[in-house]
Amino acid sequence: MTKLPLWTAFDIAAATDGEVFGAFDANGVAFDSREIGPGDLFVAMKGEATDGHRFLDKAFAGGAAGAIVSDACVGPHVRVADTTAALDALAVAARARMNGKVIGVTGSVGKTGTKEALFACLDRPNPGQAHRSVKSYNNHTGVPLSLARMPASTRYGIFEMGMNHAGELSELTRLVRPHVAIVTAIAPAHSAHFASEAAIADAKGEIFEGLEPGGIAIIPYDSPHRDRLIAAARPYAARIVTFGRDEAADITLCDEHRQPGGTLCSLILPDAELTFTVAPPGDHWVSNAMAVIAAVWAVGGDLAAAGLAFAEMPGLPGRGERSIVPVGDGEALIIDESYNANPASMAATIRMLGEEPADRRVVVLGEMRELGQGAPGYHAGLLDPLMAADVGYALLVGPEMAALANALEGRIDFAHVPDASAAIESLSGLISPGDAILIKGSNAIGLSRVVERLRSGALSGGRI
């Protein structure tokens, strides 16, 4: 059977009110010319810093089948008045032609991991029929792009939605139109833009505004903002499902047991029970797993297959991926949490490190961004988790980490450096066989470079 294209030029023109100049079929969509592959559609978007039309030649050289443009173009294209509006229109058309179930995910922490776990759980029994947003494409351009990439035949669509201002999620969720909407957890992320954590909860609760008729809201029962989220969901959700460790939750974790290979969890659902292993370590992953199983149940998915998927789930790059690297005559464990950080996720991953068997526990912690006036207190507040995890050495990266450096004086061996480059230099000769090293910080700090150097194999003999 011949596979249908993702988009034809005439489909695109109909969706965007554009005009076709040269027919073409496209099997992918991108607005970054560096991501273009053979047969893709390139959307030449105009932003504050650059104009995608400047990269049309590069996109076509990379194999683009056609482009959406608002200016003159030599290759096959659809011309529109506004390419950003055209991407939104393409997203709307993609969502309209899809007859499967759509799940939206938001929260201060755990969004990407939950989205990836949902994909693994739903794709396992339905190979090729699940679709999700890639990377952390969760903003006003990433969400439409992820929708535009969704094949019409998709059975399950999973979309991550993020925000750093009130009103953003309201717009995104109305594009996604989820049948199921999840809030993973609320924490003081992006505090610089909100007066309180309650205000963050209100902004996250906007995800329920886009629920389809008969839609289900999934909410963490154990959250201090549970009632606030329930109130936000009530006008839009036909059913509200809570998950948590408390037996009053609709989906309850009745037992958990740490063992080699993960955490064995037993859940009681409204009409089923499930025991399965969560391979990624940490309490936060147990919580994510409850939200995922709740969503799989809500869309009528295969719970047994979801349990198997969790047992096989690897860590994600920047979000828990683990590597064993040679050091001298032995090895060290690298835990890559370099993509993002806020006070809640920092504390959770440090606790996870504390459960890791190791001769010595080392942390490389980058500053947490967008915390507003409370930033010094949030950074200094990491002292208690570090002490509880029996961390032997801390490398602190970035000016905002000064508050934690002051708190650590006389308690834990540490160094405080200004940036990722200095962190790489500081690690030279520091890592020893038997170490477990956690690397975590806001993405802008660039600690992924530290991870790359640690994994490069240059640690032989204990030097980078």
pLDDT digits (tens, 9 = 90+) for 353-377: 998 899 999 999 999 988 888 899 9
Q: Give the pLDDT mean for 445-459.
A: 83
Amino acid residing at 421: S
Q: Give the pLDDT mean for 125-130.
A: 94
Q: According to the model, what pLDDT value does residue 316 have?
A: 75
Q: Give the pLDDT mean for 420-437.
A: 91
Q: According to the model, what pLDDT value does residue 58 have?
A: 96
What is the overall mean pLDDT for the chain? 92
By the 8 A CB rule, do 194 and 187 touch?
A: no
Q: According to the model, what pLDDT value does residue 457 have?
A: 61
Q: According to the model, what pLDDT value does residue 192 have?
A: 65
Which of 62-66, 208-212, 313-317, 386-390 shows the lowest per-residue confidence on average (mean pLDDT)? Answer: 313-317
- The CATH superfamily label for domain 98-311 reads Mur-like, catalytic domain (3.40.1190.10)
- What lies within 8 Å, CB to CB, of 409 at 6+ separation is none
Name the more confident of 182 and 321. Answer: 182
What is the DSSP annotation of 181-213?
EEE----STTGGG-SSHHHHHHHHGGGGGGPPT
Name the more confident of 123 and 458. Answer: 123
Other beta carbons within 10 Å of 86: 27
Q: According to the model, what pLDDT value does residue 135 have?
A: 75
Rounded Cα–Cα distance for residues 201 and 265 (Å)? 28
Exposed/middle/buried for 215, CB within 10 Å: 0-12, 13-18, 19+? buried
pLDDT over threshold 80, residue 3? no
Q: According to the model, what pLDDT value does residue 459 have?
A: 45
Reported as a single tens digit per residue, the pLDDT across 201-252 is: 999 999 999 999 999 999 999 999 999 999 999 999 999 999 999 999 999 9
CA-nearest of 147, 148, 155, 104 to 129 is 155
| CATH code 3.40.1390.10 region(s) in the chain | 7-84
pLDDT over threshold 80, residue 136? no
Reported as a single tens digit per residue, the pLDDT across 320-345 is: 888 999 888 899 999 999 988 888 88
pTM of the model: 0.81
Rounded Cα–Cα distance for residues 212 and 225 (Å)? 24
- What lies within 8 Å, CB to CB, of 299 at 6+ separation is 101, 103, 122, 156, 179, 180
pLDDT over threshold 70, residue 69? yes
CATH of 321-455, one of 3.90.190.20, 3.30.465.10, 3.40.640.10, 2.60.98.20: 3.90.190.20
pLDDT over threshold 90, residue 9? yes
Q: Give the pLDDT mean for 429-440.
A: 92
Q: Please give the CATH architecture assigned to the domain spanning 7-84.
A: 3-Layer(aba) Sandwich (3.40)
88 to 5, 43, 94, 123, 356: CA distances (angstroms): 20, 11, 10, 26, 45
| CATH code 3.90.190.20 region(s) in the chain | 321-455
- What lies within 8 Å, CB to CB, of 377 at 6+ separation is 403
Q: According to the model, what pLDDT value does residue 463 have?
A: 37
Q: According to the model, what pLDDT value does residue 62 have?
A: 95
Name the most confidently modeled range: 89-98, 102-111, 312-321, 372-381: 89-98
Which of 114-128, 245-259, 311-325 shows the lowest per-residue confidence on average (mean pLDDT)? Answer: 311-325
Confidence of residue 310 (pLDDT cuts 50, 70, 90): very high
pLDDT over threshold 60, residue 464? no
C-alpha 152: how far from chain center: 24
Q: According to the model, what pLDDT value does residue 280 have?
A: 86
340, HSE (Cβ side, Cα atoms, 13 Å) = 18
Reported as a single tens digit per residue, the pLDDT across 152-161 is: 999 999 999 9
Confidence of residue 81 (pLDDT cuts 50, 70, 90): very high
Q: Give the pLDDT mean for 309-328.
A: 86
Q: Give the pLDDT mean for 151-179.
A: 95
Q: What is the DSSP letter of 443?
A: G
Reported as a single tens digit per residue, the pLDDT across 280-300 is: 888 889 999 999 999 999 999
Q: According to the model, what pLDDT value does residue 1 have?
A: 47
Q: According to the model, what pLDDT value does residue 284 have?
A: 85
| CATH code 3.40.1190.10 region(s) in the chain | 98-311
